[in-house]
């Protein structure tokens, strides 16, 4: 059998050359740390006060699903945060330091997360881990981060497991957790749809199950006539929708991601089932939803657009809604987006990404001019200003949960419109859902938080 010797030598030579080139260009290795520069304009000299902090930069890392099945939607968040950091860097930075954001892809695989987080901490020497995304993925990182005493701030997941100050003192949540959200949505359903038949449709993991825990704390069990689950790997939810229809439920409360919220609507069309939908804010970014449903609307033949299919969906929100163009935060975030992240659509994921970056800048400003890692943790433990959230953070040394409240909204014309006031609650089954007394904050004129 003749061998292809002819190709062998040139190929080996080429690959060796390529490998050398790659090694030369590669940025792996210990992180660069510039020599401490002369004092900044303020009276205090900036020093390399902690790993990841130099006189001119702050380096934070994150793990995000940039490729793979979880990428749709979530992969927009980190670029949006990076955009806000770029804006801050262009406007004086944090006490003159620029924020460098290095986020690595873990494809939503916990084993990969464990690896990239170690790379960020042990090799790239990041100051903190910021906005690590995903519950099973971040669970693979949280023990390591805490044992290494690396601040693990503003985890991008609604699990209430990040609120364990005694076990995980370095870890802080950010968004409204799913139990609280379930209670707020459940409270609305129990008061507005009393006596009707309700069904649940939820993702078969802690996102859905925690949401249902919250719902069950508020909705009387006798009202719930059907509970259907789905797994993200199986898009054929026809059987579940048929079962929902057969149950006769007039409202369906869904803890589903946008694709499956859209599929719920789609299969509803197929089986002639059109209940009122009450959906977690995770699954109701109106831009994403309308985009997914747009093409079906056209199939109606008439001049129907995607917005008509999303009209009337009830949801919640803990950040200002996109439709609220007069809101100072939306104006700020849109300005930043248009300047630094223009290729992405301006949707809920972008607002989220920028808002959590804003929270980080607030925390860094509070941590002081030459912060240690512990200083960042203490800064958050002593509480953060409310920022763009509609209800205050819960942060304190005994509580590492983030958002505590949300408003109910209804989708009209492709945008979420707030209905009623902001509601807050806790994560216990018996805690009440009450109206929040907090006032909404305005965005700073400069767009950068005040120190």
For the segment 32-71, give every residue that binds another protein (CB under 8 A).
Answer: 66-69, 71
The residue from 11, 17, 45, 194 that contacts another protein (CB under 8 A) is 11
Q: Hey, which residues does 170 pair with through a beta bridge?
A: none
* Residues in region 184-213 near another protein by CB under 8 A: 204-206, 209
* Residues in region 141-160 near another protein by CB under 8 A: 143-144, 147, 159
- The number of helix segments (H) and strand segments (E) in the chain equals 14, 13
Contact flag: residue 325 with another protein (CB under 8 A): no
The residue from 56, 57, 76, 128 that contacts another protein (CB under 8 A) is 76
In the complex with another protein, the residue whose CB is nearer, 253 or 292, is 292
Contact flag: residue 78 with another protein (CB under 8 A): yes
The residue from 35, 38, 221, 301 that contacts another protein (CB under 8 A) is 301
Q: How far apart are CA 94 and CA 371, in angstroms?
A: 11
Contact flag: residue 302 with another protein (CB under 8 A): no
Contact flag: residue 119 with another protein (CB under 8 A): yes
The residue from 98, 118, 334, 412 that contacts another protein (CB under 8 A) is 118
Closest CB 35 distance from another protein, rounded Å = 21
The residue from 99, 114, 252, 356 that contacts another protein (CB under 8 A) is 114
In the complex with another protein, the residue whose CB is nearer, 12 or 45, is 12
Q: What 3-state class would DSSP assign to 87?
A: helix
CB 157 within 8 A of CB 211: no
Q: What 3-state class would DSSP assign to 211?
A: helix
Q: Quick one: which of 173, 87, 168 has its CA closest to 132?
A: 173
Contact flag: residue 28 with another protein (CB under 8 A): yes
Contact flag: residue 313 with another protein (CB under 8 A): no
Closest CB 83 distance from another protein, rounded Å = 11
- Reading the block at residue 204, the tokens are 């078969």
The residue from 33, 47, 115, 250 that contacts another protein (CB under 8 A) is 115
| Beta strands 57-64; 98-105: pairing state | parallel
The residue from 8, 91, 149, 335 that contacts another protein (CB under 8 A) is 8
* Residues in region 254-273 near another protein by CB under 8 A: 258-259, 262-263, 266, 269-273
Q: How far apart are CA 31 and CA 415, in angstroms?
A: 44
Contact flag: residue 296 with another protein (CB under 8 A): yes
Q: What is the DSSP string of 278-302?
A: EE-GGG--HHHHHHHHHHHHHHTSS
Closest CB 211 distance from another protein, rounded Å = 13
In the complex with another protein, the residue whose CB is nearer, 147 or 222, is 147
Q: How far apart are CA 99 and CA 86, in angstroms?
A: 8
Contact flag: residue 96 with another protein (CB under 8 A): no
Q: How far apart are CA 318 and CA 164, in angstroms?
A: 22
Closest CB 392 distance from another protein, rounded Å = 28
- Reading the block at residue 340, the tokens are 């630094």
DSSP conformation class of 29: S
* Residues in region 208-247 near another protein by CB under 8 A: 209, 228-231, 233-240, 242-243, 245-246
In the complex with another protein, the residue whose CB is nearer, 8 or 335, is 8
The residue whose two tokens read 């881990």 is 129
The residue whose two tokens read 């695989």 is 109
Contact flag: residue 304 with another protein (CB under 8 A): no
Site string for another protein, 341-380 (x = CB under 8 A): --x-------------------------------------
CB 177 within 8 A of CB 209: no
Closest CB 161 distance from another protein, rounded Å = 8
Q: Which stretch binds another protein (CB under 8 A): 120-128, 179-187, 362-370, 375-383?
A: 120-128
Contact flag: residue 169 with another protein (CB under 8 A): no
In the complex with another protein, the residue whose CB is nearer, 345 or 431, is 345
Question: Taken in order 38, 44, 48, 51, is the CA torsion positive or negative?
Answer: negative
- Reading the block at residue 29, the tokens are 């290795």
- Reading the block at residue 417, the tokens are 């419109």
Contact flag: residue 98 with another protein (CB under 8 A): no
Question: Buried (b) or exposed (e) across 330-353, using 16+ Cβ within 10 A?
Answer: bebbbebbeebbeebebbbbbbbb
Q: How far apart are CA 344 and CA 243, in angstroms?
A: 37
Closest CB 325 distance from another protein, rounded Å = 24
Closest CB 414 distance from another protein, rounded Å = 15
State the Cα angle at 142 between 138 and 146, rounded to 5°. 160
Number of residues that bind another protein (CB under 8 A): 90
State the Cα angle at 325 between 192 and 445, rounded to 5°. 125
Q: Hey, which residues does 435 pair with through a beta bridge?
A: 423
């Amino acid at each position: 059998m003749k061998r292809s010797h002819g190709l062998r030598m040139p190929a080996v030579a080429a690959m060796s050359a390529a490998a050398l080139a790659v090694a030369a260009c590669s940025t792996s290795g210990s992180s660069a740390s510039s020599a401490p520069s002369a004092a900044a304009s303020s009276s205090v000299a900036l020093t390399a006060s902690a790993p990841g902090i130099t006189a001119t930069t702050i380096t934070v890392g994150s793990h995000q699903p940039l490729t793979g099945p979880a990428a749709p939607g979530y992969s927009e968040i980190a670029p949006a945060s990076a955009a806000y950091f770029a804006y801050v860097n262009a406007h004086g930075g944090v006490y003159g330091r620029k924020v460098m954001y290095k986020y690595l892809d873990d494809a939503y695989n916990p084993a990969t997360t464990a690896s990239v987080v170690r790379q960020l901490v042990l090799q790239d020497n990041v100051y903190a881990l910021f906005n690590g995304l995903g519950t099973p993925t971040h669970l693979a990182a949280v023990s390591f981060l805490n044992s290494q005493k690396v601040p693990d701030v503003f985890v991008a997941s609604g699990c209430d497991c990040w609120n364990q100050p005694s076990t995980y003192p370095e870890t802080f949540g950010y968004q409204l957790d799913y139990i609280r959200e379930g209670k707020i949505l459940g409270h609305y359903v129990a008061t507005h749809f009393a006596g009707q038949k309700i069904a649940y449709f939820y993702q078969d993991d802690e996102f859905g199950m925690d949401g249902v825990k919250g719902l069950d704390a508020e909705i009387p069990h006798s009202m719930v006539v059907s509970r259907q689950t789905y797994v993200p790997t199986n898009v054929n939810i026809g059987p579940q929708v048929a079962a929902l229809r057969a149950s006769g439920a007039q409202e369906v409360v869904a803890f589903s991601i946008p694709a499956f919220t859209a599929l719920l609507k789609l299969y509803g069309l197929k089986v002639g089932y059109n209940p009122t939908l009450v959906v977690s804010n995770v699954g109701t970014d109106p831009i994403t939803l309308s985009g997914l449903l747009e093409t079906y609307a056209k199939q109606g033949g008439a001049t129907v657009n995607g917005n008509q299919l999303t009209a009337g969906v009830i949801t919640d929100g803990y950040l200002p809604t996109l439709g609220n163009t007069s809101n100072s935060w939306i104006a700020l975030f849109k300005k930043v987006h248009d300047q630094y992240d223009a290729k992405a659509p301006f949707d809920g994921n972008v607002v989220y990404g920028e808002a959590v970056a804003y929270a980080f800048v607030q925390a860094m400003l509070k941590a002081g001019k030459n912060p240690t890692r512990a200083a960042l943790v203490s800064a958050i433990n002593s509480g953060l200003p409310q920022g763009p959230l509609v209800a205050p953070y819960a942060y304190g040394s005994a509580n590492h949960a983030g958002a505590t409240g949300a408003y109910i909204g209804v989708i009209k014309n492709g945008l979420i419109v707030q209905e009623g006031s902001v509601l807050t609650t806790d994560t216990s089954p018996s805690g009440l859902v009450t109206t929040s007394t907090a006032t909404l904050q305005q965005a700073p004129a400069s767009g950068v938080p005040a120190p």
